[in-house]
Structure 1
Amino acid sequence: MDHAPAADTTARPTALRAGWRRRAVRIAIGLLTVIAAIWLVLFITKGRFLRHPFESIAGRLTHRTVTIGGDFQLYFAPWRIKFVAEKIAISNPDWASRPNLFTADRIDSRIAPLSLLFGKRRFTRLELTNGAVDLEWTPDHRANTWTFSAKKGGRPLEFPRIDVATVTGTTIRYRDPRMRVIADLALDDIRSRDARIGHAVGVRGKGVIRTTPFTLTAQLLSPDATANRGRNELIARMRAAGNVVDVAGTLPSISDVEKVPLTTRARGRDLSSLLDIIGVVIPRTRTYDLRAQLVKDGDVYRFTRMKGTFGDSDLAGKLTVTNGERLHLDSELATDKLDIIDAAPFIGYNPDIVASKGAQAAAAATGAGAQRLLPDAALPVATMQRFDAGLKWTIRTVRSRRVPISNVDLTLALDRGKLTLSPLRFAMARGDVASDLVFDTRPRPSRVTYDIRLSPTPLGRLLAGWGVAEAGTTGTVKGRVQLQGRGDTIHDSLASANGRMAFILPAGSLWTRNAQLAELDIGTFVQKMFEERLKEPVRINCGLVAFTVRGGVAAADPILIDTSKNVIIGRGGFSFRNEAIDMAIRADAKKFSLFSGQSPIGLTGSFAQPGIDPISGDLLARAGAGLGLAVVATPLAGVLAFVDVGDAKAAACGPVLSGARANAQRTSKGAPRQDVGNGTTAKSKDGRQTQSEAKAQRKKFLGIF
C-alpha cells in the first residue's frame, strides 16, 4: 500500500514524453505533407502564379522595380530551384543615366538552394540570352548601380559560381563620371559543360575617355577557374589616340582590381598624347615604350618599377596618379642618357622636326617666323590650371654635339596653373648651372621669370664643340641671367622681358689664334702663323659681357675684355622680339702693332643665321687711304694706314669682375671710361630696329673710334 504512489509518479513522465513524440511526428508529417503539396503544386504549375509576388518581393529587397514581361517559372526540379524569366528587367536608381540595370530576353537557370542561405550563390546551370548590363558610378564614387542599398556604399561587382553556362548576346555598358569614361562592351558567347568552359572568354568594345575614343579587347584566360571562384587570369588591350596599352594580371574576382598588382605596357608615337587622354599635359615626345606595375587603391593609381625608352633616351622610376577633387601627379624619374633631340620639346620644339630638319624648321612649325629660333608654341594654360603635379627627375648625361651637359637635377611643381622649375641644376663643361624658372599662368598673359646662374666654367671645354681646342685655354666664365616678361609663349615672354644678362671672365689664357682673330691683329696673326706658334696663349686680365634688357631689347652694358695686349669693347645688342643681331666688337692695342685692322667686327643677322662682318666701312676707308698713299708716295707709306699706335686704356678689373654697368667702368688709372656706351641701342618705338636706325647706330659707334 505504501509503494503505490511512487509507481504512479514514474509512469506519468514516461507517458508525457511519449505524447510529445507522437505530436512531433504528427507535426513533421504535416510539414512534409505541406512541403510536398507545395512542391507538387509548384511542379505542376511551374510556379507561374508566383510572377507578381516575385516582382513585388524582389523589388522591395533590391529597392528597384523588377518586371517580367514573358514566361515565368519558379519551382523545385526536383532538388534544384528552377528559375525561368522572359523579358526580365531590373531598374536603375533614379540618379542613373539609363533606366535599367539589367534586361534579358530569357534566363533559364538551376540554383542550389543552400547557396542562397549561406551567401555563396551557385548556379548549377545558366542559360542567358541577349542580356544587357548597365554599370554606373555616381560622380562622388559613393554609390553604383549594382549595389542595391545606398547605405552600404558602392561595393565591387560580384559574380556567382556557375557550373554549366550558355551565354549569348551579352552586352555591358560602363560609365564613370569622375574618370569621364563610357564603355560599351560585348561578351563573347560562352558554352560550358561540367563546369569547364574550355577556352578563353573574350570581351570587345569601344568607348570614350574624356573626349578621346578608344577600343578595348580583353580575354579571361582561366574561365574555368573563374566559374569556380578561382584564379582570374586576365589580359586586356586598349587603343586610343595612336597609343596601345596592355594590362595583365590575376584578379581575386572577375571585377575586383583593387590593390591587385597588374603588369602594364604602353607604347606609341607620342607619350603626351596618352597622358592628354586623362587631361595631363607634358611636352611631346618621340616614339616611346614603357613598362610598369600598376596598383589601384581607391582613387590612387600607382605605377612602380617603370622602365622604358622615349626617342633615343631611357626612362625609369615611378608615377602616382590621384583622381581626387583635382587630378594630381607625383613622379620620381631617372634617365641615364637623354638625347638632346628628345629634350627639344621642353622649350616647345617638335623633336621629329628637329631631328629631320633642324631647330629653325622646328621653330617655324610653332608659328614663329621663318628666320626665328625662339618657339611660339603656346603654354596649355587651360589644361595647366586643371591638374597639379610634382616631379623629381635626374639625368646622368645629355648627348649633345655642342655643349657637354650632365648631372641634371630637376624639381618641378605645378599648383593651380603656376609651374615652377626650382631648382633646375646641371653640369656643363665642368661647370654648374643652377636656375629657377616660373611660368605663372594665373595672370593674363602669363608672368614668366627666368633666373639662370652659371658657375665658373672652363672656356676651352665650353667652346670645344665649335672647334676650339682645350689645350692652351685656361680662362673661365661665370654669369647670371635675370629676366621677367609676360606672355604665353617663350618668344612672347622674352620679347617683353626686362632684366640683365652678365657673363664675367676672370683672369686666364686663350689660344693666340683665337685671340688674334677676334682682335683682327693681322700682323701678329700672320707672323705667328708662319712661325707655327698658333697655340701660344694670350693672357686675359678680366672681362665682362653684359646686356641690359628693356622691353625685349638687349643692349651691351658693357662688353669690355682686358687682355695683356688689347682692350676689347663692344656696342649694339640684339632683340628677342625679331631675333635680330646688330653688334660691333673692336680691339684696341695697348702697344704698337703693325697691320692691325683696328676696326670693329660686325655681328649681324639673326639668332637663326648669325653673321660676322670683319670688313667694316672704316676698314675699307683705311684700305682706300693706304692705296692712295702707295700710289702718290711710296709703297712703304701705304703701310702706315694699318699702324696701331697702341694707346688703348687698360681696364680696372674691379668693376669688371663685379659685373657693374657701363657707367661704373673705369680705366686702370681710375678715370671713367668713355668707350663702353650706356646700355642703350637705337630702336624704333616698338623696339625693332629699322635699316636706317641700324645704319645710324653703326655710324655712331664707328665714330667713337
Structure 2
Amino acid sequence: MRRPGKRGQRWLAILVFLFALILLIIALWDWNWFKGPVERAVQAKTGREFHIGGNLDVDLGRTLTVRADGLTFANAEWSKTPRMASADRAEIDLRAWPLLRGQVRIPEIRLTRPDLLLETAPGKDQPGNWDFLGPSDGEPPVLQRLLVDDGRLKFLDAAGKTDILVSLNSGKPRTADGAPPLLVNGKGRWQGNPFTLDGNTESPLELTNSDHPFRIHLDGRAGATRAIASGTLTNPFALRTFDLDFALSGQDMEDLYPLIGLAIPSTPPYRLKGRLKRNNDTWRYENFTGVAGDSDLGGTAQIEVGGERPFLKADLVSKRLDFDDLAGFVGAPPKTGAGESANAEQKAEAAALAAKPTVLPDTPYDLSKLRAMDADVKWKAQRINAPKLPLDDMDAHLKLDDGLLRLEPLNFGVAGGDIRSTIRMDARKPTISTQLKASIRKVQLGGLFPDAKLAEQASGGISGEIDLAGTGNSIAAMLGSSDGKVAVGMGRGHIGNLIMELAGLDVAESLKFLFTGDRQIPLRCAWGDFGVQRGLMTSQQIAFDTTDTLVLGEGTIDLKQEKLDLLLRPRPKDISILALRSPLRIGGTFKDPSFRPDFKALGIRGAIALTLGSIAPPAALLATIETGPGEDSNCGGRYAK
C-alpha cells in the first residue's frame, strides 16, 4: 500500500486540526449568543415579546436537541395579564437533514412546568389570546410527541363567568411510538358555579389538526350535578362539532339552569345516559335513557343556540311515570314518604307544606326562566303510578315562545275515560294570565274508588266541562282569582246503598245494611253546575237522583281561601215516617273537610215530597252525559224543591 507523500500528510494534518478546532469551538461555544436573534424572530412572527431568561444550549447530531430555560411569552395587548405562557424548561428534538432542506421535523418536545393562560377577548367579535399566528407561508412543522411534566392550564371567559384551572401531565402512550395522552385534574367556576374536573384527553398535538377527531374522557362535577363525557371532538378550541357518550346526573334538573341556561322545572334526583352530539349551533342528546325520581325517562332532546333565545325540541317517553314526580311543574315538591325519591331540599319543602293549612301550591313561578328559552316538547307516559288517583296514561305537548306557555294538549287517561285539557299561561307581563279549558269524558265511577269492594258497588260514566281564567304567579293565586264555570255530570248507572247510607243520607237504612248486607241502587243521573267569580265557585244546580231519593244541593267552594260550604238536602220519593233523612253539611277546608248532619236544615217531608217540581241537567251537560232510554230517563222527574 502506497503511503501518502509529505504534501498529503501535511493536508491530512491540517484537516484533522480543523476538525478538532471545530469540535473544540462547538464544545466551547456559548449558544446563548443566539438568544437575541431567536427572541426577535419569534416576536416578528407573532407580534408578541418572547424571552429566554436562562441558558440556551444545542446538542448536535443526526437529531439536534435544543434546550432553553426560563421561557416567557407575552399575552395579547387587551389582556389584563401580561404573560400568556411560561416554562421552566423546553427541550426540542429536530431532524438535521430535513432542516437543511427547509423542512421542520420534530420527533419530540419536552416541557417542564409549563404554565399556559387561554382567555376569550372582551369584544364579541375579537379572537381569543391564542390567535396570534398569521397565515402560514410554508410547510407547517411536523410534531410527533409532546411530553408535559407538572403543567398548568388556565382558561378565562369573563363574559361567561368561567374560570378553569387544571393541572396537566403526560400519561402513558397507547403505543410505543404514539403520542402520550394528557392527564387532566382541576377545578374552577363555570357560568359562575364552582366545579371540579378530572380525566384525560388525546395528545395536545391533535389540536393542530382541525379535521382529526380529538378523543377525551372527562368527569365534571358542579355541586350535586355530575357529567361524564367520553368520545371525540373536532376542532376542540371552537367546540363546534363533537360526538360523545354523555352521562348526566344530579339532585334536581332545575340546577341545570345556571349551568347551561335550560329552564327545566324542579325534579327529584335523576340519572340520564345517552349520546351527546353538536353540529355548530345544534346540540342533540340522542336516545337517552334514565330515571327522574321514581319514573323512567327516555327520548331525544335537541337545543338550538343560534337564535335570540335557546330553543329546546324534545320527544320524551316514560313507560312508567310516578305522578308525584310532576309536582315541580306546579311548584310543589314530590312525595317524600317511604320508597319515594326526593332530595334534601325537597324533603324540607314537603315538610313545610305539610305544616301549612292549605294544599294548593303557592310557590311563584320564576318569570325569568319562562322567558329565557323557547321550547316544543312532547311527552307520553304509557302507565302512571298514582295510588290515590285513578290515572292511566298521559299525552302532553308543551310549547313555550317568548314567555307564552301553552299545553296543547295535556291529556290524562282516568278510570277508563279521559280528561282532555288545554292550558295557556302568558308570562310576558309581570303577572301571569292563565286560561284552562278541560273536558271530562266517560270517567267510570267505579274506577274512582281505590278499594276493590267499593269499586264493584258503583258504575256510571262521568263527564263535564271546566273553563277558567285567572291571574297570578302561582297555582294558588291563579285559581284564587279565576272566573269561569265548572260543570260535571253523570248519567245512568248504579251505586251501592251502603255507600250512600254511610254518607249520612239515611241513618236507619245504613244501620240495616251494615248488618244485613248491601244492594245496588239504580242511579238515574247526578250533576254539579258552578259559576266562578274571583275564585268563588257558587252552585247553579247540584242534584243526585236515584230511584228512591233525590238529593239537591247548594253552596260555595272558595278557591282562594280553600274553604267548603255546601248543603245537600235529601228528598225521599217514598212516604216513610221511619226514614230519618237529614241534610248533610260539607264544610271545613280542602285540607281538613268536615261532613255532618244539619238538623237545622230539615225540611217538611212525607207527602210534600210528592208535590215537588221537576229538575233536569243544565244544557251544558246534556251533550256529555248519558241519561239513558226509557220512562225513567227524565232525570229528576218532578221531585225538586
| Shorter-normalised TM range | 0.7 to 0.9
Match of 1:652 in 2: 616
Distance 1:551 1:224, change over 3 A: closer
State the shift of 1:517 in Å.
Answer: 4.4
Match of 1:438 in 2: 424
Q: Is 1:291 aligned to 2:309, yes or no? A: no
Match of 1:543 among 526, 539, 546: 526
Question: Structure 1: any 5+ residue segments left out of the alignment?
Answer: 1-36, 153-157, 623-640, 661-667, 676-705
Match of 1:210 in 2: 191
Q: CA separation in 1, counterparts of 2:152 and 2:323?
A: 49
| Paired residues, number | 602
Look up the equivalent residue of 2:415 and give its one-letter code: A
Look up the equivalent residue of 1:400 and give its one-letter code: A
Larger % of helix: which?
A: 1
State the shift of 1:261 in Å.
Answer: 2.4
Deviation per CA, 1:486-530: give whole Å up to 9, x if none: 111111111111111111222333223334445713454455556
Match of 2:462 among 470, 477, 480: 477
Q: Is 1:604 aligned to 2:590, yes or no? A: no
Match of 1:579 in 2: 562
State the shift of 1:370 in Å.
Answer: 1.5
Match of 2:299 in 1: 317
Q: CA separation in 2, counterparts of 1:373 and 1:362?
A: 16
SS of the aligned residue for 2:438 comes to strand
Deviation per CA, 1:110-143: give whole Å up to 9, x if none: 2346888999975334332221212234575773
SS of the aligned residue for 1:343 comes to helix
Deviation per CA, 1:667-688: give whole Å up to 9, x if none: x79999995xxxxxxxxxxxxx
Distance 1:111 1:452, change over 3 A: farther
Match of 2:550 in 1: 567
State the shift of 1:410 in Å.
Answer: 0.9
Match of 1:404 in 2: 390
State the shift of 1:55 in Å.
Answer: 3.2
Q: Is 1:242 aligned to 2:242, yes or no? A: no
Q: CA separation in 1, counterparts of 2:74 and 2:369?
A: 38
Distance 1:54 1:198, change over 3 A: closer
Distance 1:278 1:251, change over 3 A: closer
Q: CA separation in 2, counterparts of 1:487 and 1:227?
A: 53
Deviation per CA, 1:293-318: give whole Å up to 9, x if none: 11122233211120111222111111
State the shift of 1:248 in Å.
Answer: 1.6
Q: Is the 8 A contact 1:602 1:616 kept in 2?
A: no
Q: CA separation in 2, counterparts of 1:517 and 1:511?
A: 10
Q: Is the 8 A contact 2:145 2:179 kept in 1?
A: no
Q: CA separation in 2, counterparts of 1:646 and 1:79?
A: 119
Give runs of aligned pairs for residues 49-448 of structure 1, distance below 5 A: 49-62=33-46, 64-71=47-54, 73=56, 77-80=60-63, 82-96=65-79, 98-112=81-95, 122-138=105-121, 140=124, 143-148=127-132, 161-163=143-145, 165=147, 167-176=148-157, 180-188=161-169, 201-220=182-201, 234-250=216-232, 259-324=241-306, 325-353=308-336, 370-448=356-434
SS of the aligned residue for 1:351 comes to coil
TM-score of the two chains, using structure 1 as the length reference: 0.74
Look up the equivalent residue of 2:465 and give its one-letter code: R
Distance 1:577 1:320, change over 3 A: same
State the shift of 1:447 in Å.
Answer: 1.2
Distance 1:122 1:361, change over 3 A: closer
State the shift of 1:431 in Å.
Answer: 0.8
Deviation per CA, 1:24-63: give whole Å up to 9, x if none: xxxxxxxxxxxxx99999997555444344334333433x
TM-score of the two chains, using structure 2 as the length reference: 0.81
Look up the equivalent residue of 2:143 and give its one-letter code: R
Q: Is the 8 A contact 1:484 1:499 kept in 2?
A: yes
Look up the equivalent residue of 1:334 and give its one-letter code: V
SS of the aligned residue for 1:285 comes to coil
SS of the aligned residue for 1:344 comes to helix
Look up the equivalent residue of 1:59 and give its one-letter code: Q
Question: Structure 2: any 5+ residue segments left out of the alignment?
Answer: 1-20, 625-633
Q: Is the 8 A contact 1:191 1:197 kept in 2?
A: no
RMSD (Å), alpha carbons: 4.2
Q: CA separation in 2, counterparts of 1:94 and 1:242?
A: 39
Q: CA separation in 2, counterparts of 1:150 and 1:503?
A: 75
Q: CA separation in 2, counterparts of 1:474 and 1:243?
A: 49
Percent identity between the aligned chains? 25
Q: Is the 8 A contact 1:368 1:375 kept in 2?
A: no
Query: Greater CA deviation, 564-573 or 99-108?
Result: 99-108
State the shift of 1:546 in Å.
Answer: 1.9
Q: CA separation in 1, counterparts of 2:145 and 2:249?
A: 39
Look up the equivalent residue of 1:546 and give its one-letter code: D
Q: CA separation in 2, counterparts of 1:309 and 1:259?
A: 28
Distance 1:256 1:121, change over 3 A: farther
Distance 1:150 1:464, change over 3 A: farther
Match of 1:460 in 2: 446
Distance 1:189 1:544, change over 3 A: same
Q: CA separation in 1, counterparts of 2:172 and 2:120?
A: 31
Q: CA separation in 1, counterparts of 2:359 and 2:100?
A: 75
Q: CA separation in 2, counterparts of 1:121 and 1:354?
A: 69
Look up the equivalent residue of 2:222 and give its one-letter code: A
Larger % of strand: which?
A: 2
Q: CA separation in 1, counterparts of 2:399 and 2:415?
A: 28
